Structure formats: structure tokens, C-alpha cells
Chain A
Amino acid sequence: MKHLIALFTVAFLIGCSSSTSPVDDGLENQIFHFGNGSEPQGIDPHIVTGVPEHHILISLCEGLTIPNAFGDGNLPGAAESWQISEDGKEYIFNLRKNGKWSNGDELTAEDFVWSWKRILTASLGSQYPDMLYYLVGASEYHTGLIDDFNRVGIKAIDKYTLKVTLKAPTPFFIGMLSHYSTWPVHKETVLKHGSIDDRNGEWTRPGNFVCNGAFNLKSWELNNRIVVEKNPNYWDSSSVRLNQIHYYPVSNVMTEDRMFRAGQLHVTSTLPSQKCPIYIEENNPDLRIDPYMGTYFYRLNTNNPVLKDVRVRKALAYAIDRKLLVEKVTKCGQIPAYSFTPPGSNGYQPDTVIPFDPDLAKELLNDAGYSDDNLFPKLEILFNTNEDHRKVALAIQQMWQQNLGITVELVNQDWKVYLSREMVGDFQVSRAGWIGDYEDPNTFLDLMRPNRGNNKTGWENADYDSLVAKANSTNNQEERYRLLNEAEKILIDNMPIIPLYTYVRNYQLSSDVKGYNPHILDHHHPKFIYLERE
């Protein structure tokens, strides 16, 4: 027993001995400590979905283009340049002659052809094949209508030239290429550890993993840490100043906050919502509130007997004081939303209006036949269990009760139960959020077209559908935005969804970190990031 006590005391004293924090140590060795939310599903760009996965993949692999760290649009990535045909349907990508895989192999146009074939191989079960559905023959190949991949609109003209043919001019196509689902994978490595459609191949393990990004996978301790280190074979390795990035899957936001405060992280994935107003008041220099292309909204089930009446839907929307919601409830820089697409998405400015007008709302409800004699039935707001969603729902409940006299019940469900209820339409009002996949209003407006899996409201409108389709077949950006704006007006006029606020990215960032510039999609290419103390 005495020995054990002595042992423990020694261990304790060793533990308490002073040591430099990871942030200080990182500054010296250019090691970036990154709070990454949750354990990534994996790092196969054709299989995974999610933000933590993206954060890691952006350092390991590179698409034809990369997000611009200094503004809108995209910069050349694996392709050093590209030409677009007059009709906007044909893209010629000129790959870099010095493009290499992390094992030193040459990166060729054929690698992209094979990689895109892999995403479109149905048996792989990729969840993002629709990102390539804009290519001629892609959806047909994926759904088995054709089985000859040569009929899909991607060809390697020579070693360094890639030709992509689209069904229609798709002005946001270049932007989509910085999404990880379109990035290349190393054919020989994938096939060494499995077949083209093997989801469980071990090619993504440290030691096996090969890709073409600025960093290479060094180690992966499950639920603990992923370490990537500078890839000397990256075409632009001389620009990369970080030596390593350590990704920590910290799912508990309070733990992450404490880790940041104790100097164990340079950047957090998010912020405890209750702390945000305090940090704002304290003028915390590490607090960052960046614009983010995302909308928090409520879905209304238009198949519901009560909510199928557009007047009811509008009444509900007009009875919400969005300004009050962001100032008194969310309190972290969120912006009241009066359109589905966040304003300013790649220059797009929707001019829709959603007034806060309780009198008009009441009148609309009366017109719909609800009065003191015929009371509005009890309404249910469905949301997944989360304190922030509850707070918003409570505020909306209060507003509807006060402004419309409606009794509202809040129903919170476990995440998967909530998803399945939404999917089968077993809800009246359901909370939702949408983050853009690429910098274009289409990433929002496409959602509400008929037969889209994420519409979930049961709403369809032929005019809306044809306007969005027409917008996507024109090559004139001004005309396109005008058409999309028209579509957005129809959407807001029909109100199958009630936009509440535009998201912001709130997180903490050490002042040592440079080059981590605000980006509307929260994409931060690591080659622009470095550590320096002023």
C-alpha cells in the first residue's frame, strides 16, 4: 500500500511539473492544433459526408480547384488553368505538370476519370454522386441506365488535359470542384486494398493512404487525434508553412472551450452558445464571428390539413419577430433571415420580404377561417434534442401564442427519430438548417424543387421548378440571378419553409494563427495558414 501511495504521489508530481502548452509548442514547431468537433467517419472522399471529414480532407487531397482564402470564388488547385466553351457546357482543365501524389507518382487526367467513375459506381454507395449529375451521362451511369462509362462526360485528352462535358451550362460547376466528393483518389492504392466499390478497404489507414494534398496522413488514433504532416511531394510545398496539423475530435463543446482556454487548441470547431454573449461583452480577442452560408428555418408540412392553407403558413411566418430572436435568444451575431438563400451568396441578393406584422398575421388566420369561434388547432414543433433548438422553439411558441393565440407544443426527439419523422412527413412544423455545399444560390433553391429528398415539406410548384431549371440552363449570370430571385419570391410567397436566421460561424481562434481568413463555406486551405506571434 505504501508503495502504491508513493507511486501515485510521484506520478502526480511529475504530472504537475511545468511544461509548455501545445499552443506555445506549436508556435515553435509550426504545429496547428485543431478542434474538429467529432470523430470523422473516415477519410475516403468518395464515401464520407460531414464537416469534420472536410477539415481533414482539405489538407490531404486537392481537387481541380481550391477555395479562395482571400475572397469569393475559387483558385486553381490540381488544375493550373481551365477554359470554358462559349455555350458553357464544355470545360478543358489543364493539369499541373508538376502535380504529384504523396507517394511521388504523377497526377494525371486519367486519375480524375477513374476517380469520378468510382463516385458514380452505384455499388460504392457514395452519398454525393449527385454532385456529378451535371455531367452528360453521369446520372444515367449511376442509376444503371447505361453501363459504358465512356458515355459519361469526362475524358482524358492526354496526360495533363481533362475534358468535362455538362448537360447544361452550370456556372457553379467550378465552385463544386472544391467539394471533396469530386476529389481524386489514387487508383493503385485503392485497388491494392480492395475493389473500386469497396467501402471497407484499408487504403485510408496511415501508412497506406496516398493522396495529392498539401499534407500526408501520419497517424490516426481513434477518438483521440489525427496527425497530418507536410507533404514534400505537393506541387506547392514551398508555400506550405505548417509542419503538422493535429485534429482533435472534441464532441463536447464545453470541453473544447476549456481546451482552448488552457492552450491546448489553436482553433475550436464551435462555441458554447451560452458563452458567446459573455465573450462578446468581454471583447474576447479570440472570439470569431464570421459570415456563413447557412440558413436556420422551420419546415411546414404542406400535406397537413391545417398547414396546406398558404394563409396559415404566411400567418405563422409574419408572427415571428426575427430581430428579437437573434438579439435575445441566439445572441451570437446571427442575422435575421428574410429569404431562404443567405444574401450575398456569390453576389446574389434576394429581395424577398417577410414582414413582422402580427395584425396582418391575425387577419390572414381569420381569412383562413380561424377565429374565436373556430379556434386554431394545437400545433406541434418538432426538433432534435438540443438546448439551442429548444430555446428558439420556446421563443417561437411564445410569439405564436402571443400574436396569434395559437397553442403550440414542443416535441423534441433523438436525432435519428427526428430525421425519420421528417422523412416520412410525420410532423407539422419541424426545425431545420441548411449549409451550402458550394458558393451559389442553387445549393439552396434546388432543395425545394419537387422530388428532392431534402424538400420534406410536400410542397411543389411548377413555376418555381421551371424558373430554377431555366436559370441553370442559361450562361448569363445576371439573367440567372434574376430568374433565381423570381423563384425565391415564389418560395417566400408560398412559405413552405419559414426562414428564421442566417447562420454565422462562431468559434475561437488563437491570435497566433495567421491566414485563417473568414470564408462563407468555412473552407480553409491549410497552405495559407501559419503560426506567428506578434
Chain B
Amino acid sequence: MISIFIKRLLLAIPVLLAVASLTFFLVKLAPGGPFDADKAVSPQVLKNLNEAYNLNASEWEQYVAYMSGILQGDFGPSFRFPGRSVSEMIATGLPVTFELAFYAILIALLIGVSSGVLAALKRNTYLDFIPMAIAMIGICVPTFLMGPLLVLIFGINLEILPVSGWGQLPGDKILPSITLGFAYAAYIARLSRGGMLEVLNQDFIRTARAKGLTEKNVVIKHAMQGGLIPVVSFLGPAIAGLLAGSFVVETIFQIPGLGRFYVEAAFNRDYTMILGTTIFFSAMIVFFNLLSDLAAMWLNPRSRDTS
């Protein structure tokens, strides 16, 4: 398992370098530049600005300078926010995005696994139909609708929760976490129901029951271990998706996370910020995929043995 871990980590290095190189040249291909503004700047000012940010150098020189910078951990200065480095901005937004993703995944697991397992155990009853119908709604309703809807009910009509912010007012983390978590809860519910149904029909479960184990032990100790493998495999890309895709929730709830920086950087042609966040999110995706693969391997005795 350790050798697989190291192998995959080493494999991540060329992947990230390729991402960085591709992104570097792709952002330059996009029309418009970081200093284009409604109020056009004079050619003289533009020249000075390009000089200040080394944009007058050839593409190749810029590429070499940038790559040698990131190898030393320097993502360069933000073009949009003078005086701020990209690393600093990532460091500012990351804890918030992580925290939001953590609460969301916690909610998703709590709701998703419990309702999925329950639905599998009570197959073809109301306890199966109702949670699965809700899960289907969760999958279908996008966060940009769910968020404002929850705000309208709990923030404006009932006035029990703040409508925006992160850590400023008591309870302001609840609605964004639920909004982001709910969509994932729906997926997890369906995955765990499917996984559990498959496992519950297998011989070792029948054997366990025949040996007189309580239903609780059968489900928790034996069925869930195998039944939740699809959920674990889903968690890796899900966490990466939560981190990179929290932009909508961050915007609806005015949360100072990394997702907003990421998307706004693209709109602003903030080259260094686009590159920095893309490389960072790529690293996150690689890392969480690796973690979930390892966890799934550990849960599945067959693949654990072959590894």
C-alpha cells in the first residue's frame, strides 16, 4: 500500500507540471488582458504596467520565470490586487473553503449514509421511497436555487439564521453548509442504498445472520463495510469537487473562500491567480483521489490482498 502511495505521489509531479504548463499558455490565448478596463489606459501606462509585471518579456521567458518561481513555492503577485501575492490569497481563502467543505461533507455523510442504509434495509417501503424521492430532489435542485430558498425561509421569513457571512454572526455557517452538503447527501444516499442492497444479498450476510448475529451487528459490522465502498470511492472526487466547486455557495452566502478568487481571477484575467489556483486545485484533486482509492482498497479485502 505504501509503495502504491509513493508511486502515485511521484506520478502526480508530471501531472501537475503538465497542468501548470498548459494553463500558462491557455490563459494567454484568452482575448483581453489583465489591465483592460472600462476606462482605457493610455499606451504609455499600459507599457509601464506590462513592464512592472514582466509581461513585455517573450512568452518563453515568462514561462521559464514562472515555472522556476513555482518550483520555489512562489506563485507571483496578483495582477488584480496590487500588493497581494497569490500564495497569500490562497492561504487566506483556503481555510474557509476547507471548513465549508468539511461541514458540507459531514452533513452529506450523516444524511446520505443513514437514509441510504435505511432505504436499503426497508426496501420497497415508505422508508425507502421517501428518502430516495428527497434524494432525487436533492440531485435535481441546483445549489443556486437551494441556497436562496433556504435563505428566504430561515433568514428572511423566520428570521432565525443570518442570510450571509462566515464566522461574523452566530449561526451564519449553517445555511451554506446545508446547501452545499445537501446535493452531495443525495448522491451518497443513492450510492449507499445501491451498495448496501448488493451486499445484503450476498452469502456472507446470510451466514452472519444464520450464526445468530443481531441485525445491528450484521448491518454495522459486516454489511456496511462492503456496502459503503462506492461511497468511499465517491468521496475523493466529491471532496475535490466541493473545494473547487464551492464558488456558487460562496457567492450566494458571501463567504470569503478560494472558489470566489478562482472564478473571479478568470474573469479578471489575473494570470498568476488563475495559474496558482488551478495548480492548487489540481493538486487537491490528485491528492483526494489518491486518498479515496487507498481507503477503498483498505475497505475491500480483495483489492487489499492483491495490493
Cβ-defined partner of B37 (8 Å) among A16, A49, A258: A49
Contact A222 B92 (CB under 8 A): yes
B47 to chain A, nearest CB (A): 9
Q: How far is the CA of A311 from the CA of B87 in the complex (A)?
A: 56
Q: Does residue A251 face the partner (Cβ distance < 8 Å to B)?
A: yes
Q: Does residue A255 face the partner (Cβ distance < 8 Å to B)?
A: yes
Cβ-defined partner of B269 (8 Å) among A8, A127, A416, A456: A416
| Chain A residues within 8 Å of B173, by CB | 15
Q: If the complex has contacts A16-B160, A255-B253, A255-B254, are A423 and B36 also in contact, measured as CB distance less than 8 A?
A: yes
Contact B80 A223 (CB under 8 A): no
Contact A16 B171 (CB under 8 A): yes
A34 to chain B, nearest CB (A): 13
Q: How far is the CA of A8 from the CA of B33 in the complex (A)?
A: 46
Closest to B91 in A: A222
| Chain B residues within 8 Å of A417, by CB | 30-32
Q: If the complex has contacts A123-B48, A416-B33, are A224 and B174 also in contact, measured as CB distance less than 8 A?
A: no
Contact A222 B89 (CB under 8 A): yes
| Chain A residues within 8 Å of B36, by CB | 416, 419-420, 423
| Chain B residues within 8 Å of A4, by CB | 106, 110
Contact A258 B148 (CB under 8 A): yes
Contact B48 A122 (CB under 8 A): yes
Contact B161 A16 (CB under 8 A): yes
Contact B39 A125 (CB under 8 A): no
Q: Does residue A408 face the partner (Cβ distance < 8 Å to B)?
A: no
| Chain A residues within 8 Å of B89, by CB | 222
| Chain B residues within 8 Å of A248, by CB | 254
Main secondary structure of the interface of B (DSSP, over half): loop
Q: Does residue B6 face the partner (Cβ distance < 8 Å to A)?
A: no
Q: If the complex has contacts A42-B81, A414-B267, A416-B32, are A258 and B151 also in contact, measured as CB distance less than 8 A?
A: yes
- Total A-B contacts with CB atoms under 8 angstroms apart: 166
Q: Does residue B307 face the partner (Cβ distance < 8 Å to A)?
A: no
Interface residues on B, range: 35 or more
| Chain A residues within 8 Å of B107, by CB | 8
The segment out of A195-203, A295-303, A526-534 that lies at the interface is: A195-203
Contact B174 A125 (CB under 8 A): no
Q: Does residue B187 face the partner (Cβ distance < 8 Å to A)?
A: no
Contact B81 A41 (CB under 8 A): yes
Q: How far is the CA of A423 from the CA of B48 in the complex (A)?
A: 18
Cβ-defined partner of B39 (8 Å) among A199, A204, A454: A454
Contact A42 B83 (CB under 8 A): yes
Indicate the member of B83, B164, B268 with the most A CB atoms within 10 Å: B83
Contact A127 B41 (CB under 8 A): yes
| Chain A residues within 8 Å of B161, by CB | 15-16
A73 to chain B, nearest CB (A): 24
Among A40-86, those with CB < 8 Å from B are 41-42, 44, 47-49
A183 to chain B, nearest CB (A): 17
| Chain B residues within 8 Å of A221, by CB | 92, 256
Among A391-447, those with CB < 8 Å from B are 414-417, 419-421, 423, 433
| Chain A residues within 8 Å of B38, by CB | 419, 433
Q: Does residue B251 face the partner (Cβ distance < 8 Å to A)?
A: yes
| Chain B residues within 8 Å of A462, by CB | none
| Chain A residues within 8 Å of B44, by CB | 122, 142-143
Q: If the complex has contacts A15-B171, A199-B83, are A224 and B256 also in contact, measured as CB distance less than 8 A?
A: yes
Contact A255 B39 (CB under 8 A): no
A270 to chain B, nearest CB (A): 15
Q: Does residue B124 face the partner (Cβ distance < 8 Å to A)?
A: no
Contact A22 B169 (CB under 8 A): yes
| Total count of chain A residues near the partner, CB < 8 A | 63
| Chain B residues within 8 Å of A129, by CB | 45
Q: If the complex has contacts A19-B170, A414-B267, are A41 and B49 also in contact, measured as CB distance less than 8 A?
A: no
| Chain B residues within 8 Å of A130, by CB | 42
Cβ-defined partner of A11 (8 Å) among B41, B49, B174, B261: B174
| Chain A residues within 8 Å of B267, by CB | 414-416
| Chain A residues within 8 Å of B49, by CB | 125, 127
A448 to chain B, nearest CB (A): 13
| Chain A residues within 8 Å of B93, by CB | 222-223
| Chain B residues within 8 Å of A205, by CB | 83
Indicate the member of A15, A221, A423 with the most B CB atoms within 10 Å: A15
Among A110-135, those with CB < 8 Å from B are 122-127, 129-130
| Chain B residues within 8 Å of A49, by CB | 37, 39
Q: How far is the CA of A130 from the CA of B110 in the complex (A)?
A: 60
A169 to chain B, nearest CB (A): 24
Closest to A454 in B: B40
Among B227-262, those with CB < 8 Å from A are 251-254, 256-257, 260-261
B211 to chain A, nearest CB (A): 26
Q: Does residue B51 face the partner (Cβ distance < 8 Å to A)?
A: yes
Contact A44 B106 (CB under 8 A): no
| Chain B residues within 8 Å of A204, by CB | 83
Contact B156 A262 (CB under 8 A): yes
Q: If the complex has contacts A127-B45, A420-B33, are A201 and B174 also in contact, measured as CB distance less than 8 A?
A: no
Contact B37 A44 (CB under 8 A): no
Query: Quick one: CB contact mask for A88-127 with B, threshold 8 Å, 1 for yes?
Result: 0000000000000000000000000000000000111111
Query: Quick one: CB contact mask for B66-81 with A, threshold 8 Å, 1 for yes?
Result: 0000000000010011
Among B155-183, those with CB < 8 Å from A are 155-156, 159-166, 168-174
Query: Quick one: CB contact mask for B9-36 with A, threshold 8 Å, 1 for yes?
Result: 0000000000000000000001111001
Q: How far is the CA of A127 from the CA of B37 in the complex (A)?
A: 10
B184 to chain A, nearest CB (A): 16
Q: How far is the CA of A461 from the CA of B166 in the complex (A)?
A: 55
Indicate the member of B42, B155, B257 with the most A CB atoms within 10 Å: B42
Closest to A452 in B: B40
Q: Does residue B212 face the partner (Cβ distance < 8 Å to A)?
A: no
Contact A264 B163 (CB under 8 A): yes
Q: How far is the CA of A4 from the CA of B109 in the complex (A)?
A: 11
Q: How far is the CA of A200 from the CA of B252 in the complex (A)?
A: 31
Query: Quick one: CB contact mask for B137-164 with A, threshold 8 Å, 1 for yes?
Result: 0000000000010011001100111111
Q: How far is the CA of A177 from the CA of B135 in the complex (A)?
A: 60
Q: How far is the CA of A408 from the CA of B83 in the complex (A)?
A: 45
Closest to B34 in A: A416
Q: How far is the CA of A126 from the CA of B148 in the complex (A)?
A: 40
Contact B48 A124 (CB under 8 A): yes
A178 to chain B, nearest CB (A): 18
Q: How far is the CA of A423 from the CA of B38 in the complex (A)?
A: 10
| Chain B residues within 8 Å of A42, by CB | 81-84
Q: Does residue A453 face the partner (Cβ distance < 8 Å to B)?
A: yes
Q: If the complex has contacts A4-B106, A125-B48, A222-B256, are A453 and B41 also in contact, measured as CB distance less than 8 A?
A: yes
Closest to A193 in B: B83
Q: Does residue B52 face the partner (Cβ distance < 8 Å to A)?
A: yes
A225 to chain B, nearest CB (A): 7
Contact B254 A125 (CB under 8 A): no
Q: List residues of chain A with CB under 8 Å of any chain B CB.
A: 1, 4-5, 8, 11-12, 14-17, 19, 22, 39, 41-42, 44, 47-49, 122-127, 129-130, 142-143, 199-202, 204-205, 221-225, 248, 250-252, 254-255, 258-259, 261-262, 264, 414-417, 419-421, 423, 433, 453-454, 456
Report the 4 A-B pairs with minimum CB-CB distance, sorted nearest first.
A15-B171, A416-B32, A223-B256, A453-B40
Other than the known A127-B41, A416-B267, what 16 A-B pairs have Cβ atoms closer than 8 Å? Answer: A8-B110, A19-B169, A19-B170, A42-B82, A201-B83, A223-B92, A250-B164, A255-B253, A258-B148, A258-B151, A259-B254, A262-B156, A262-B159, A415-B32, A416-B269, A453-B43
